Each structure stands twice: as C-alpha cells, then as structure tokens.
Structure 1
Amino acid sequence: MITALAGLILAQTASQTPTAPSPNLGTNEFFQTQLKSTAQALSQGEFASATTAAQSLPKANFTVQISSENLSPAEKTLTQSSLERAISAWQTAYPELKITLSDSKPTVLISFVKRISEPNAAEERSLALFPSDSPTDPTLEAVIALQRGKTSALLDANQLTADINYAIGQYLGLERSPVVASTMFRFEGLANRSTKVDGESAFLASLNVLQAEQLRTWAKAKTTIIASFPEAFLREKSKDLGRFPQGEIKDFQFDVVNRGSGPLNFTIKPDCSCFQLAYDAVVPPNSTGIVTIRMHTAEFQGLQNKGLYFYTNDPSQPVTRVNIRADLVPAYRLINAENTADFLMSENGLKTTYYIYGESKLGFEPRKASIQGLNGIAEISPWTGEIEDPTLFKGKQQVTGYKVEVLISPNAPTGKNLVALIIRTDSEQFPTIAANFTVQNGVAVTPATIFFGDVTTKSVQASVIVTGTNSDFKVLESSSADSQFSVKATALEGRNVRVEVTFQPGSTKGTIYSSVALKTNDPKSPLITIPIQAYVK
C-alpha cells in the first residue's frame, strides 16, 4: 500500500519539472522547515545546500543512543529495556524501519535525567526536545525525566516506553496530538498511555520518509524542481464567547487566509466532542476559507477553556491551538453534601446525600434516580435549606430544590469501585444529569493487575498504587511467588503506597503468570495478593 501511495505522491513524468511535495498534515515544525529549505534550495539550483538540509529529514534506517549518566543500576536497566520495547513497537507498526543502537554519533540521542522541573513548579515539564540541522549533532536529542509529580514518583516501564515512542515519532516528523489514543498524545505528569504505535502515526511517518527520500534523490541527481508553499494566517487565535447559560448552543466562525503561493491544506482536531466543524480543507493561494463551528454546552458548567488544533502544511505554523473560552452559568447544581467524590465503605454500607438546585428556580423536575456500578438505591424528595456554593453565591444562601439520598450496599467488590448517580428529568435540554464518584471497599490496588506486556530478556519494571483505608496505612512486608520478580514498596502521600515490581526474565518463554503478596497493617486486609502477567518473547 505504501509503495502504491509513493507512486501517487512522488511520481513525475520525464517531460515535467518536478514539484516539491507538500508537507503532510500532522507533521512538526522542524520537519516542515527542513522540507521547505530543501525544496527551495533545489528550486534555485543550490544542490549542495539541498543535500545538507535533506540530511536532517527522517530516514527509514537510523540509529539511537541512550545517555543515562548519574542514574542507578535499576534506572539504567529500566531505560534500556524501555528503549528496546519502543524500537520493537515502531518496527512492528512500520516494518520498513530499521532502528539500531549506536555508541557514537547517533541520529537520535535520548537522555534520561531525574527531573526537568521541580516538584513544586507551577507547570510540570517532563520532556524536552532539541532538533538540530547541524551534521555534527544528533538530528534530535530528547531529554526525558524519570521522576514526576509532587511525590517524584518514578516512571514505570510502560510510561517510559510511551515517551520514547513519542520521541521517535518526533524524529520521524510527527507533531503532538490531542487524540488520547495516538502515539503522539502526551501528558506531562504520570498517566497510563499505550506502549503500542498506532497505525495512523506509523502511516504518516512512512509518508514523511518517502517525501524525504524523494528530496534526497533529487538533490543527488541535481534536479531542479518547482517549490511553492502556502502561508497560513488566522485572523483570530482565540475566541471568548462570554458568559451565557449552560445548554445554549453557540455558533461562530473564523477565517483562514492563505497568503502564500501554494495551496493551503489544513485539518482541525478539537480536544472536545462538544464541537461540530464545517470547512473546506483546501484554501487556494491568495484566498480565504471559512471555518464554521457549533459548540454544545449542555454537559459543562463554569469557565471552559477548550482547544481547536489547526494542522497545516505551512512550515511556519504546522500546528496552532485556537483557544475557545466560555463562562457557562450553571442551569443546575448537583453537589454532594460532604463535598467529595471519593468515599470509603463502612460495615453498614455507604449513605450520602446529593442536592439539586439552581441559581434561582430550577428549570426542570427530577423524576427518577438510580445507581449504576454497585447495588444501591437513590430516593428524590423536595428540599429547602441553606447551602454554601461559591460557584453561584457569596456565602451561604437559602435555596429550594431537591435532595437525593443514596444508599450503597456493603456487598461491594474489594477495591475502588466507579459509581454513577443517574437522574432522569422532565427536561428536553437536560433529560439526564449525573454525578460520578468512587467507593472504596477495603484496600484498593490500582491497576488491579501488574501487567508487563511483551518483554525480551532485559529486566523491566511496572508498578501499582495501593490505597489503604486509614491515614497510617503501611505495607509491612512484600514478596513475590516467583524469583524472577522482585518487589519494592514506597510510601507516598496520604493513604497511598507505590509497589514497584522488577521482572528479570529467565529461560521460560511465552505467557508467565505470578503474583505479589503484601502484608499490611489494615485489619480487614492484612494480606493482599496482586496478580502478575507478562509475555516473554
């Protein structure tokens, strides 16, 4: 398929002057800049400059080196095994890639440090990228922090593999994505992300490499080409929709101007499903396109800062975030009497109360309430009383609305359970309103299984968070049922303990099942068993 597309994208007849390829949407600034520089040098017959610029464009065959100075032996093992998993993930999704490890002059240098930003920094930073067009430097150096968050928690193998996948994607010309399932989605702190490379990212990377190879071929053959590129101009890079009632639909537009000499291709990826978009994806030179947007607000309250990610083939601005701001006056409030969404189960179950009211008179009547996720009941009754709600009032206010009394059965699974309070109303605009919360029964383990995924012969690490029911919760002892697994427990803030498991594969191949045993000071859960699963290639 890639070969066929290469023919469509790159073929030129002998009688025509070749035209420079247009950067693919979703590619990063460095890739687009180097592509444009190479193409412009070729169009001007500057073949030596074109050859130099094209060397910084991605190749299907490249080398990677890791730098892990000042790290502990365990951390060095973690970084090495995570790199191998990332290389395997990319080569599985994009078989034409050949990524090899190098001890000197790598194409991609990945450096690991303890931290990049301080634990108390206002904005955490956990990855720094340094692309270079110098032939003496790596084309990309990525600096990855191993510790993140206020607790300086250490990354596990899956999180680190996902960050290395992201760095390799950047070398291959890919831009950051707001799509959670994408390889190019990132979260600066600790977050569970896929260790696999998605098909869309791999396909786009392959197209980038094809374009780069075509430019290098033209430079070597000293072929003069036609180079024309767009120049995108957004009249507005932010939109403040003001203050208006929740549930109101807002329609607005913004202009996309192409001031360049080539067609402007663009696509828009919103970070919220509340947007509906309509636009023509190509703007001819010296023309203006219009993007029409509809924003649905029934599910949101208060200040909202949403984003529309505008991807173009203009190397000067390959991606721009258009900020959409709105202040939504709540049509209703559904709040818990204890002002929490995390509950501990007692021996008699859980009993709590929610209140429904509006800034003035509630615009609908709740008809029926139910519980999803656990066995429980919810009863609605009229209610008048004082409440403190800074979102709507200054100080306490007397309000009239409804109260919903919730009772959850104590026969709940051990651990943290996700629960939803669902309320049906007589409103067409808000037919269903809901409150989500968690109920912890006994000691909770998150995630419930220690999953290593595919591993080789190198040791790897994975971790879970164990949450007790008391502030003095402790893990007294930890052990594993298999000598291939070693266990370390570290106390975190509050009732949390991080349990880190290191897996050093032996001679057994295939799927391995084992477990970790924890002795705790919790009288109801003195012994906890956590399943382990791994697959050794």
Structure 2
Amino acid sequence: MRRRTIMTALASAFGILLLLPVLCFADPQMVLKQQIHDFKSVFEGEILSYTFDVLNQGDEDLKIERVKSECTCSVAHFDSLIAPNAQGKITIEIDTNGFQGPERWVARIFSNDPKWKEAVLDLRAQVKPVITITGAPVFLGGKKKAPTTAEVEIRTELDRDLILTPEKFTLSGKVTYSLEEIQKGRRYRVSFQNVTRKRENYRGSLKLKTNFAEKPDVTIMIIGRFDL
C-alpha cells in the first residue's frame, strides 16, 4: 500500500514537471513581417496609408495596447487582440501637407509580449511640393535709397493648370501688390511695393486660393522695416 502511494505521488510530481514548461512559457510572441516601408516619391498633400502585418507565434493572446505616432500628422488603426497563431494588422495613415523633401515618420507599438513590449514602425517618403514659391518671405525696407519692391514667383509641379485667386491681404494702405500669370497655368509672378512713407515696422501676409485639393491655398509673408 505504501509503495503504491509513493508511486502515485511520483507520477503526480512527474506530471507537474511536464506541465511546468507550458505554465512558465505560455506567453504571446509578437512577430512583424516588416518594420520599414518607403513610399518613394509622393506629392505634398497626399494621404499615405500602409498596413503592417503582425503575427502572434505565442501560446497566449497578443494584446496591442496602443500604437503611438510621433507626429500629429499620422494616425493608426490596429487590431487590439490577436489570438495564438493568428495574424493582425496595423495601418498607419500620414497627411503629408506641410512636408517637403526626404521625410521620416515613426510609430511605436506597445504590446503585452514580455520579450518585445515596444516595437518601432518606420515610414519614409520623398515629398515633392505641389506648388513651389521662390522669393518668400518678402522683405521691404531699409533707408531712403533702399529698394521698396520685391517679387515672388509661384509655379506648379503638377501636370495640370494652376489657378490662383487672391483671398486675403492684410497690409492694405502699406503695401500694394499685383498678380501676373507669366506662363499659362504654370507660373505666376506676385509683385509687392511699399507705399507708406512713415518710419515703421509691419508684418502681414497675402493669401492666395488655388484650385488644387492637395494645396488649397498658399500664403506669402511680408515684413517691412523702414527708418526714413
């Protein structure tokens, strides 16, 4: 009887030992097929979107607690719970308005994977301007012999006609301006001239409305400093 009791106890202990690896290592395991995506060349104003695949190769549910973007220009949509041996998705959307040149956006994934609690997603693009402005901001000023005129050129990089319409000007009585189309649908010239003869400093802007959804308006800043 005693021998049978000992054998039963040993069998139970052996069974517990077999279960220990399962009990100890039953964790979620996050696997990302890809962490970097390059959109290549895009135009400013485009909304970029890319979806990353997330695998759970563990034995417990993988919880995506949050996805934090480092820029307010981007938002994330994601599957918050991924079952063992299943696949989820994380989609990052980026508004490129206001960006130009080589750009990089980072999003951080926070999960309950004990070995990889924080992962990084890296998105890149070469952002081309829809509209290029040269000669801005505008500076008018100096002393009596200083020039009091300036010119700004505006051109489009898209393969469709650009139409500019004055929308708001904040320096009436101090500065005059004219808008001239110098290449139909492609290039414009804005000429500014100071008309005040007082000793003063001023700051204002000219806002032009465009027909491009990607860039609905452009603003030219104007600064005047006169010591006559």
Say yes or no: TM over 0.5.
Answer: yes
Rg (Cα) greater in structure? 2
Question: Counterpart in 1 of 2:9?
Answer: none
Note if contact 2:161-2:186 (Cα within 8 Å) is conserved in structure 1: no
Give the letter for the 2:103 counterpart: Q
Identify if the C-alpha distance between structure 1 residues 289 and 378 changes in structure 2 by more than 3 Å, giving closer, same or farther: farther
TM-score scaled by length of structure 1: 0.31
Segments of 5+ residues of structure 1 without an aligned counterpart are 1-43, 45-224, 386-398, 443-523, 525-537
Identify if the C-alpha distance between structure 1 residues 228 and 343 changes in structure 2 by more than 3 Å, giving closer, same or farther: farther
Task: Classify the secondary structure of the residue corresponding to 1:321.
Answer: strand
Q: Percent identity?
A: 21
Shift of 1:312: 2.4
Give the letter for the 1:295 counterpart: I
Shift of 1:251: 3.0
Shift of 1:357: 0.5
Give the letter for the 2:123 counterpart: I
Shift of 1:373: 9.5
TM-score scaled by length of structure 2: 0.66
Note if contact 2:130-2:158 (Cα within 8 Å) is conserved in structure 1: no
Give the letter for the 1:278 counterpart: H
Segments of 5+ residues of structure 2 without an aligned counterpart are 1-19
> For residues 100-129 of structure 1, what are the alpha-carbon distances to aligned partners after superposition, in whole Å with 9 as ceiling and x for unaligned?
xxxxxxxxxxxxxxxxxxxxxxxxxxxxxx
Q: Which of 330, 347, 356 lines up with 2:129 in the alignment?
A: 330
Question: Counterpart in 2 of 1:258?
Answer: 56
Note if contact 1:343-1:440 (Cα within 8 Å) is conserved in structure 2: yes
Give the letter for the 2:81 counterpart: V
Equivalent residue runs for 1:502-513 within 5 Å? none
- For the pair 1:316 / 2:115, whether they are aligned, the reply is yes
Note if contact 1:376-1:406 (Cα within 8 Å) is conserved in structure 2: no
- For the pair 1:405 / 2:191, whether they are aligned, the reply is yes
Q: Which of 330, 344, 354 lines up with 2:152 in the alignment?
A: 354
- Matched residues, number: 199
Identify if the C-alpha distance between structure 1 residues 362 and 381 changes in structure 2 by more than 3 Å, giving closer, same or farther: farther
CA distance in 2, matches of 1:378, 1:237: 52
Give the letter for the 2:83 counterpart: P
CA distance in 1, matches of 2:117, 2:39: 26
Equivalent residue runs for 1:23-62 within 5 Å? none
CA distance in 2, matches of 1:291, 1:265: 12
CA distance in 2, matches of 1:229, 1:407: 71
CA distance in 2, matches of 1:326, 1:359: 17
Question: Counterpart in 2 of 1:248?
Answer: 46
> For residues 377-410 of structure 1, what are the alpha-carbon distances to aligned partners after superposition, in whole Å with 9 as ceiling and x for unaligned?
563422549xxxxxxxxxxxxx951122345776
CA distance in 1, matches of 2:105, 2:29: 25
Identify if the C-alpha distance between structure 1 residues 384 and 306 changes in structure 2 by more than 3 Å, giving closer, same or farther: same
Identify if the C-alpha distance between structure 1 residues 364 and 342 changes in structure 2 by more than 3 Å, giving closer, same or farther: closer
CA distance in 1, matches of 2:214, 2:174: 27
Question: Counterpart in 2 of 1:27?
Answer: none
Deviates more, 1:428-437 or 1:246-255: 428-437
Note if contact 2:139-2:150 (Cα within 8 Å) is conserved in structure 1: no
Shift of 1:431: 1.8
Give the letter for the 1:405 counterpart: S
CA distance in 2, matches of 1:235, 1:436: 46
Note if contact 1:368-1:380 (Cα within 8 Å) is conserved in structure 2: no
Give the letter for the 1:263 counterpart: D
Question: Counterpart in 2 of 1:230?
Answer: 28
Structure having greater relative contact order (Cα 8 Å, sep ≥ 6): 2
Give the letter for the 2:217 counterpart: T
Equivalent residue runs for 1:105-124 within 5 Å? none
Question: Counterpart in 1 of 2:219?
Answer: 434
Shift of 1:351: 4.7
Identify if the C-alpha distance between structure 1 residues 318 and 352 changes in structure 2 by more than 3 Å, giving closer, same or farther: farther
CA distance in 2, matches of 1:311, 1:436: 42
Note if contact 1:268-1:311 (Cα within 8 Å) is conserved in structure 2: yes
Identify if the C-alpha distance between structure 1 residues 368 and 362 changes in structure 2 by more than 3 Å, giving closer, same or farther: farther
Note if contact 1:277-1:291 (Cα within 8 Å) is conserved in structure 2: yes
Identify if the C-alpha distance between structure 1 residues 362 and 423 changes in structure 2 by more than 3 Å, giving closer, same or farther: farther
Task: Classify the secondary structure of the residue corresponding to 2:189.
Answer: strand
- For the pair 1:286 / 2:108, whether they are aligned, the reply is no
CA distance in 2, matches of 1:403, 1:257: 55
